[in-house]
Amino acid sequence: MNDNKVSHHQTLSDANDSVLVVIDVQQSFLDKLSPEQVSPLTNRIRWIVQMAGKMDIPLVVTAEDIPESGSTVSQVAEVFPVGTREHNKMSFGLAGDPAILSAVNATGRKTAVLVGLETDVCVMQSALGLLGHGYRVVVLSDASASPGPCHEQGLRRLENAGVVISTVKGTFYEWVRTLDFADEHLEAEIWTGERPEGINL
């Protein structure tokens, strides 16, 4: 087995080394999913964006062909930190766009946590491109999607390539690590309050 793959899978995601990458959460892609998938998916993406913000984890956002397909859906975009730039992505893999790759590089982080659409196309090609540039890449399986069987097929391709497949809950707890960190950075309501559909802690 590839030693690099082993080390990637045996390492917890560190909040201080992570960048969250939100890929193409646009209405045109959400419309391809079954209606019951959409709200839980966008809730999880929205929530992990908010948690990343609370833990000072930088955010890189892409949207495919914005003039033609529109921007990130408002449910997610409205929780982006002030000043967040939405990169217009014209290549399926973000590493094929020098400006977007530069934005990821500029964070100084080496673990790229990916969410968005579609698992077997833009998420997959972005993940493999980032692997090729030396990143440890994590794809959150419950915060990414493709229609029909393509989601699971995309996840298998990613895992076989050495990408870590995790979940919103799992990666959140990897970022938090300790109750002391949680007490310092997060409000008590995160644990005790009502959570959106799709968020389980």
Within a domain: residue 195? no
Within a domain: residue 131? yes
pLDDT one-digit tens code per residue, 139-182: 999 999 999 999 999 999 999 999 999 999 999 999 999 988 88
CATH of the domain at 33: 3.40.50.850
Which pLDDT does position 8 carry in this prediction?
A: 64
User: What is the pLDDT of the chain when averaged over all its residues?
Assistant: 93
Within a domain: residue 191? no
Which pLDDT does position 191 carry in this prediction?
A: 81
DSSP result, 69-134: H-SB-HHHHTTSPTT--EEEE-SSSGGGSHHHHHHHHHT--SEEEEEEE-IIIIIHHHHHHHHHTT
CA gap 46, 143 in Å, rounded: 9
Domain enclosing residue 70, as ranges: 3-184
Within a domain: residue 198? no
Average pLDDT over residues 124-148: 97
Looking at the structure of the chain, the number of domains it has is 1
Within a domain: residue 199? no
The answer to whether the CB of 126 falls within 8 A of the CB of 103 is no
Within a domain: residue 159? yes
pTM, to two decimals: 0.94
Within a domain: residue 201? no
Average pLDDT over residues 16-31: 98
**Is the pLDDT score of 3 beyond 60?**
no
No. of helices (H) and no. of strands (E), the chain: 11, 6
Within a domain: residue 194? no
